[in-house]
Amino acid sequence: MVTKKTKNITRRLPPAERKQQIVEAARRVFIRMGLNGARTKDIAEEASVTEPTLYIYFNTKQDLFDAAIVEPLQKLIKLPKMKGVDYAEAPSAKEKREICRTAIKEIVTSMADVYPLLITAQFSDQESGTAIYNHNIYPILKEIGKAASVGFDIPDSDYAEFVALSTFGLSFSIVMHHHYMNLPLDIDKASDRITGLLLDGVA
């Protein structure tokens, strides 16, 4: 009796789908192991492809890291950030508060989506973390700072940037706390509290 060995055959995919499959697998591996700990062998196994297949789509592990971890962080910079002019010109305190709250809610929501990537990007490797902060994170903070400067009529750019750092940092800390405590995140409540701190000095 001849026993046939069953082989794990990777389903043929169009190149774009295969590349996306590899990126998603790489993201999972990098989040688990970090940049230095992850091996291309691990990523290939996670994606159910061979290592040579990885190199059809990506030249280096760093290229994979950029595609899987760094590029999605651009979602933060594309946020419809606090519209400083809209806030400054809003005719009532109620409308100002709603503009501010909406912008903060968008930041918290996006932070919840990219938090694992942000942690991986910042703390996998000192050199990479520095480069990512300077080229991907700090520009976001500068834009939020500009909006705060206009909206809150803050002529001091350093102080406006401090407001941006505080908003970003609060969002990050709240998401981190809920992540590590394994608690559900009430984005509306978090947004209300951050808005209260910014506008009223109390949450």
Instruction: Give a yes or no: residue 1 inside a domain.
Output: no
Q: What average pLDDT is seen over the chain?
A: 85
> How many structural domains comprise the chain?
2
pTM: 0.74
| d(C-alpha 175, C-alpha 198), whole Å | 18
Shared domain check, 100 and 19? no
25-81 pLDDT tens trace: 999 999 888 888 899 999 999 999 999 999 999 999 989 998 988 888 776 666 555
Nearest to 72 by CA among 7, 164, 137, 168: 137
At 203, is the pLDDT very low, low, confident or very high (cuts 50, 70, 90)? low
| d(C-alpha 105, C-alpha 121), whole Å | 23
Instruction: Give a yes or no: residue 3 inside a domain.
Output: no
77-116 pLDDT tens trace: 665 555 677 888 889 989 999 988 988 888 898 888 888 8
| d(C-alpha 14, C-alpha 120), whole Å | 29
Residue 192 belongs to domain with CATH number: 1.10.357
Q: Which helix (H) or strand (E) holds 133?
A: none
Shared domain check, 50 and 146? no
Q: What domain range is 172 assigned to?
A: 72-200
Shared domain check, 127 and 102? yes
Nearest to 67 by CA among 87, 47, 94, 93: 47
Shared domain check, 104 and 38? no
